[in-house]
Structure 1
Amino acid sequence: MAEEQVYDEKIVVGVDGSEQSRQALRWAVRQAGFTHALVEAVMAWEPPFSGWGGAVAVAEEEARLADLAHVALAENVEKAVGAQPSVEIKLRVGKGNPASVLLGAAREQASLLVLGHRGLGGFTGAMLGSVGQYCVQHAPCPVVVIRDSAS
């Protein structure tokens, strides 16, 4: 049985499929190399809802959506840092609002929360997206916001 690695810190990073989130992940991986930290890449997903206010998804559909989110997260991690990253990266998908999922992960003894300056939202000129804004204001740990150098 392999001995479980002990880390000095845990860095939580939000990944939503945007290039900004992949830049945040690359930054988090470099930082983890300096601080001997575990990186926890987090992606949120929400079940589809009908226009009548009720949830459409059933348990089997939600399990399928969670699996799809996990695949998307794994693909984004590999796209950002390759198949053999220099540090350990734990993948975590969570059901719910992205800000709530990220803050929940950060509350589990994260030393740092890392986000891209904006995600997939429609306001491309925004200095900080709504998820980032909420996380900066409510995180239980320091937050690093990575700005796209081309922005």
Structure 2
Amino acid sequence: MYQIQHDIQKESEALLKAILEYEAAHKHEPDFVDTIYEYYHWKIEELFDHIEKHRDNGISTFQTIGIMKTFWALGNIESLNRKALSFLDILGPDNLCKMTQDITNEEYRFYEEQTGTEFYKLHLEEPDDAPHREYPYDVLTGRSVKR
């Protein structure tokens, strides 16, 4: 079990590093969005397929949320968050979005209790089965919508 966690953590760190290096070297190229998508979208999708396969049977949901949070932080990079396109449009695969919504509020709250954030206070009434929950996005991006 520990080996799977270790391997997935290393895999995610290496992929994130590669994306950041590519972004720094190529962000001013006219076809940047298309080429970074072509190079990395499928790799992110493959990583999160691997995580989903081993979630709760080799990798904890807590660690999964931590890895997801590092990838959602790519949305803070200007070149990956343009006027008409966001990080999700450019690099975010469907399985990352699905996993974001599939993790329960209780699991996000446990993560927050361990990391010292309190977004759950803004979302106490938001049910796990809401069609589009905002709570996971607040936890993963560190943002909050003023209520």
TM over 0.5, yes or no?
Answer: no
Structure with greater strand percent = 1
Which fold has the larger relative contact order, with Cα–Cα distance below 8 Å and residues 6 or more apart in sequence?
1
TM-score after normalising by structure 1:
0.29
Structure with greater helix percent = 2
TM-score after normalising by structure 2:
0.30
